Amino acid sequence: MLARICAVLAAAGLIAAQGAWAQSILRDAETEALMQDASAPLVRAAGFRERNVQIMVINDPSINAFVAGGQAVWFHSGLIAQADNLNQVQGVMAHELGHVEGGHVIRSMEGIKEATGIQLVTLLLGAAAMAAGGGEAGMGIMAMGQQAAMGKFLAFNRAQESSADAAGARYLHDAGISGKGSLEFFKKLQNLEYRLYVPQDTYFRTHPLSSDRVATLTHVYENDPAWNKPTDPALEARFQRVKAKLIGFVSEPQRTLQLYPETDLSVPARYARAYAYHKSAYTDKALGEVEALLKTAPHDPYFLELEGQVLLESGKPAQAIPPLREAVERTGGQPLIATLLGHALLATDDDAYLAEAERVLRNALSRDNDNPFGWYALGNVYQRKGDTARAALATAERYSMEGQAALALRHAEVAMSGISQGTPDFIRAQDIAMVSRAAMERTRKK
């Protein structure tokens, strides 16, 4: 189930939470499985543990990827949509892992500090000149200092980008993955620079020019033993599926149908159209595409998941339960799909499903607790069972995850008042309360 983590809870399968960025985080079981498998050789080559590195997708049409601390790499949906093949995406993965290995997010503070030092010195010199009666000279010194500081910081950033390029090339070599896709993607960026008339003066740029990067890396990649090594066909087929479903989910339906017209009967095209039709409330057409997909692979868990999602979000939760149950079983209890099943069980309004919904949601959250909609659904289970204290605890979990400290504290206190002291649930409510109070205190001091 493709789902957004955004600022407001939405109905019918969309997950919600306040994130660190204005864009929505896109979560999807199939996408995350592909990203994990595609990045695994590179992660190992970089010397990291696979379980510690996350590849996440943000709903943003621009062509970009970045790291923001820790070992998480963020891809914009626009980059995946514009990539022609998985090898191009792996080239970007390798580059971003180079930033992680280099600690560039933390080291950026060094560049800021050095640039700030230059600016402070010139501010003092300019102020002294102005005090001595040289107003224009003083202003000129300040302006030159600001420009010099900016140039110093941008040069620092360009050095980090070149370092990440070199590290990425090393990871691709060690993983036995061709650098052809990396060069192809840089050429895409180069064409974009030309179309957008990006200034070719490197002094005012945070990144080296794509043309310079292509020239530097071409010799490295073309002489690598893996240069002509093709991507595993099964992995490439999975990428084309994920790319299509992502386009169908984030793009306007009209745009999706232009890219994947009804004459295209391939699996990726049907995937994309199913989402486009579903977004347009053409339920029968969406289910028709899903039915055609299931004929090609009757037990594909992600096709079954999509069938369940369309049925659930079209007001047919009872019909959504069987395909979702099978999808959960065939993925070994994948947490995002299990959360969707829990939602379907609740949406029937049949209390006979409450025990199963509680079990499914608790299992899902035990494996992936970074899912605010899962906590929201579990809170509804407890509310319907009359367990107000645990409903409050689930709600506290959700608000804590969304960064709403005051609401998290309020519900954690309600939970503690109704749960026996010393139990795991009481201790968890206590922890949320302590963290929330500390967050509120930091906010007050600011």
Torsion of CA 99, 104, 106, 107, to 10 degrees: 160
pLDDT at 444: 86
What are the C-alpha distances in Å from 94 to residues 4, 23, 29, 234, 378? 26, 24, 22, 21, 38
Residue 116 — very low, low, confident or very high, per pLDDT cuts 50/70/90?
A: very low
Give the list of residues 6+ apart from residue 216 with CB closer than 8 angstroms, or none.
Answer: 162, 165
pLDDT on residue 114: 44
DSSP string, 188-253: HHHHHHHHTT----GGG-SS--HHHHHHHHHHHHHTSTTTTPPPPHHHHHHHHHHHHHHHHHHS-H
Instruction: State the average pLDDT over residues 244-260.
Output: 96
Q: Which of 14-28, 40-54, 56-70, 112-126 has the lowest mean pLDDT?
A: 112-126
- Of 61 and 12, the structure prediction assigns the larger pLDDT to 61
- Confidence at residue 206, expressed as pLDDT on a 0 to 100 scale: 37
Show Cβ contacts of residue 84 under 8 Å, excluding neighbours closer than 6 positions.
184
Q: What's the whole-number mean pLDDT along residues 262-277? A: 97
Q: Are 59 and 26 in contact (CB under 8 A)?
A: yes
Q: What is the mean pLDDT of the chain?
A: 83
Q: Rounded distance, CA 444 to CA 446, Å? A: 5
pLDDT at residue number 70 = 76
CB neighbourhood size of 250 (10 A): 23
Are 246 and 57 within 8 A, CB to CB? yes
Least confident stretch, 20-34, 319-333, 351-365: 20-34
pLDDT at site 103: 60
Binned at pLDDT 50, 70 and 90, residue 142 comes out as: very low
